[in-house]
Every structure is written in C-alpha cells, then in structure tokens.
Amino acid sequence: MKVTMFSTQDYDKTFFTSHCPDGIALDFHDAKLNEHTAVLAKGAHAVCVFVNDTVDKAVIDLLIDMNIRHIALRCAGYNNVDIDYAKSQGMSLSRVPAYSPEAVAEHAVALMLSLNRKLHKAYNRVRDDNFDLNGLLGFNMYQRTVGVLGTGKIGRAVIDILLGFGCEVLCYDIFEASELKDKAVTYTDLPTLMAQSDIITLHCPLNESTEHMINEQSISSMKDGVMIINTSRGKLIDTKAVISGIKSKKIGYLGLDVYEMEEDLFFKNRSNEIIDDDVFQRLQSFPNVMITGHQGFFTEDALTQIARVTLSNIELAAKDEQDAETFL
C-alpha cells in the first residue's frame, strides 16, 4: 500500500521510516499539498498531510479522481481540511489527537520563562562577556495570575506546570473539564480572564468562534504589561492589533509559536531570502517578542507517537476500520 506524504522534512522521514510496518510504502515529498501538487499522489492509497497543507474542495476532488480514499493528518488540529466535504465524498480522515500535550505545554511555559527572565538577551550578553544585568529584570511566576484559555489536553498540561510554580490559575473554556474539579484553579468568564491575568496563554482550536479572539477590544481590556502566549494557531490573534498593543506598551511580552500567515514562512530555512511579510518583520523587531517556528510539538516523544498513531490509522483505514478516538 502506497502512502504519499506531503510537506515532509528529514525528521519525518527518520521517524516514519523507523516505525513503518511491512506492507506500507511511504513516498516522501517536500512539497505542500495543494491543487498543483496533488498529482504527486497518483497511484497512492492514502495521503498524509501536516498543518500547512491545503485540503480544500478542489484538492479533495483531485484526490478522489485518483481513487484516494484516506487522508491521514499527522497532527492534532484540522482547520486546514474541509472535513465535511471529504466525508460527503466517501473519504475517511484520521489525525493524532493527543500525541504529546506535554510537548506543547512545556514549550508554552518555556516561552513564558524566556520572555520573563529575558534569556534570549542574557544568552547573547554573556557570550559577549557582557555581565551587565540592567534590562534583564524579571518577575516571580509564584502568585502571578495566569489565564488559560482552553482547558483541553494541552491547556490542562500547562495548568499542572503552573500550579507547580504556585501561580493563581484562571480558566475559560466552553466546556469545563471534570479533570480540573479538584485542582486549585478557577473557571471564569472570558472578560474576567482577559482583565485579571498577568499572563494569558491560548490553548483552544481555531474555529469561527476563536478566530481573532485576541483583538483590539480584548487587548484594551487587559492589564497593562500583560504577557500573551500563543502556541495554538496563529489566527487566534489579530497580529496587527497585537503590534499596536506592543507599541502602546499595553502588551509587555508576546510569545508566539504560531503566526497568522505562517503558511508562507515556516518549516523552511529562509535565511538567504528577502522576507516580504512586513507584519512578521515588524513583530520580529520588538525586544519583548519571542517567536518560534511552530516547534511546540517537536520532541522525540511526540514525533515517535505521531509516526506510530498515523501509521496505525493508515493500516486501519486500509481495512475499512476506524478508531473512534483518532478518526474524524
């Protein structure tokens, strides 16, 4: 059974090849899946895609014309896939819903600590034999209020770490998690979380109700000097509003692992290119902004789990079987 894998990097090849069972032939491509590249999947039984592949109606029609019946997402989020249309055309779809919530949670907290204690600056200073502490002043995490927006798997893993630091945790979710019932956290409404948090960390999916939930109005309701962390999806934040908030000093720190227009930027070495995204370049210019290129998931543990679950999903789909937890 041939599986065409789009948007692959060397590490995908390493982890997928070492966990590939007999009977599956993996065909790796660097190209992103879109209308122009779908043809690469000719002769395959399934395609395997990642966060920035385009799986809209046009692409799904092309896949169906080539008799491809399964789309395996090797990620948790699926906002880039027209799920309803694919299903209406008889395709099955799978994903990896919980490969390692701790990987993303730990990265979110790494951004918090790095921004707070200015590790990015301290590292460069000491390498330059500059031991001046001026400009590196941080704050204790202990007893600070952190607003966790979205208390699913990753949000809950973040909460466990923050409780260890002695933070006060405010939460907002459209569904309250029973797992948090006995923990020292307080569910509140969204305006209260926005207004009372020293740090706001986003852990909900991108959908119509969450797109640009961090916008001019919500930013104006936040504490002066607030820290915002986004490891979920770029479009949760109106980037231009956030830039205004940083310029006016309303926002004191911004940590991003995801960016609204990341499709055209991330996962490639562009160090010799001229980046023509002025919004991204403006963001990069601030000393209190730290951006990583969608690497929250990038741990050995998570990549192993992603490869195992994705390949198992592909095997199940080939047998016309489904796992309720991993199939959409």
Residue type, 284: Q
Distance from C-alpha of 28 to C-alpha of 30, rounded to nearest angstrom: 7
Query: Is position 70 an interface residue for ligand NAD (rule: CB under 6 A)?
Result: no
- The catalytic site residues sit at 233, 262, 294
User: Out of 7, 12, 155, 228, which residue is the one contacting ligand NAD (CB under 6 A)?
Assistant: 155
- CB-count exposure of residue 98 (10 Å: 0-12, 13-18, 19+): middle
Distance from C-alpha of 159 to C-alpha of 150, rounded to nearest angstrom: 11
Rounded least distance, CB 240 to ligand NAD, Å: 21
302 phi, psi to nearest 5 deg: -70, -40
82 CB neighbour count, 10 Å cutoff: 18
Query: Is position 203 an interface residue for ligand NAD (rule: CB under 6 A)?
Result: yes
Rounded least distance, CB 156 to ligand NAD, Å: 8
Query: Is position 153 an interface residue for ligand NAD (rule: CB under 6 A)?
Result: yes
Residue pair 270/238 in contact by the 8 Å Cβ criterion? no
User: In the window 103-122, what residues touch ligand NAD (CB under 6 A)?
Assistant: 104
Distance from C-alpha of 4 to C-alpha of 47, rounded to nearest angstrom: 5
SS3 for 327?
A: strand
Q: Which is nearer to ligand NAD, 244 or 299 (CB)?
A: 299
Q: Which is nearer to ligand NAD, 165 or 298 (CB)?
A: 298
Candidate ranges 60-68, 125-133, 167-175, 260-268; the one touching ligand NAD (CB under 6 A) = 167-175
Candidate ranges 128-136, 144-152, 275-283, 306-314; the one touching ligand NAD (CB under 6 A) = 144-152
User: Out of 82, 257, 260, 262, which residue is the one contacting ligand NAD (CB under 6 A)?
Assistant: 257
Read off the DSSP letter of residue 297: T
Rounded least distance, CB 209 to ligand NAD, Å: 4
Q: Roughly how many angstroms between the first and final C-alpha of the chain, as a whole number?
A: 22
Q: Which is nearer to ligand NAD, 6 or 267 (CB)?
A: 267
Instruction: Give the count of residues interacting with ligand NAD (CB under 6 A).
Output: 28
**DSSP structure string for 202-240:** E-S--STTTTT-BSHHHHHTSPTTEEEEE-S-GGGB-HH
User: In the window 218-237, what residues touch ligand NAD (CB under 6 A)?
Assistant: 231-233
Beta strands in the chain (DSSP E): 2-5, 25-28, 46-49, 70-73, 92-94, 145-149, 168-172, 185-187, 199-202, 226-230, 251-256, 289-291
Task: State which residue has the least CB distance to ligand NAD.
Answer: 152
Query: Is position 175 an interface residue for ligand NAD (rule: CB under 6 A)?
Result: yes
User: Out of 154, 159, 241, 283, which residue is the one contacting ligand NAD (CB under 6 A)?
Assistant: 154
Candidate ranges 5-13, 26-34, 60-68, 291-299; the one touching ligand NAD (CB under 6 A) = 291-299
- CB-count exposure of residue 128 (10 Å: 0-12, 13-18, 19+): exposed
User: Out of 55, 81, 101, 303, which residue is the one contacting ligand NAD (CB under 6 A)?
Assistant: 101
Query: Is position 258 an interface residue for ligand NAD (rule: CB under 6 A)?
Result: yes
Residues 6+ apart with CB under 8 A from 10: none
User: Out of 3, 118, 297, 306, which residue is the one contacting ligand NAD (CB under 6 A)?
Assistant: 297
326 CB neighbour count, 10 Å cutoff: 19
Query: Is position 53 an interface residue for ligand NAD (rule: CB under 6 A)?
Result: no
Distance from C-alpha of 228 to C-alpha of 251, rounded to nearest angstrom: 8
Q: Which is nearer to ligand NAD, 41 or 254 (CB)?
A: 254
Q: Which is nearer to ligand NAD, 38 or 108 (CB)?
A: 108
Could you list the residues that contact ligand NAD (CB under 6 A)?
A: 76-77, 101, 104, 149-155, 172-175, 203-205, 209-210, 231-233, 257-258, 294, 296-297
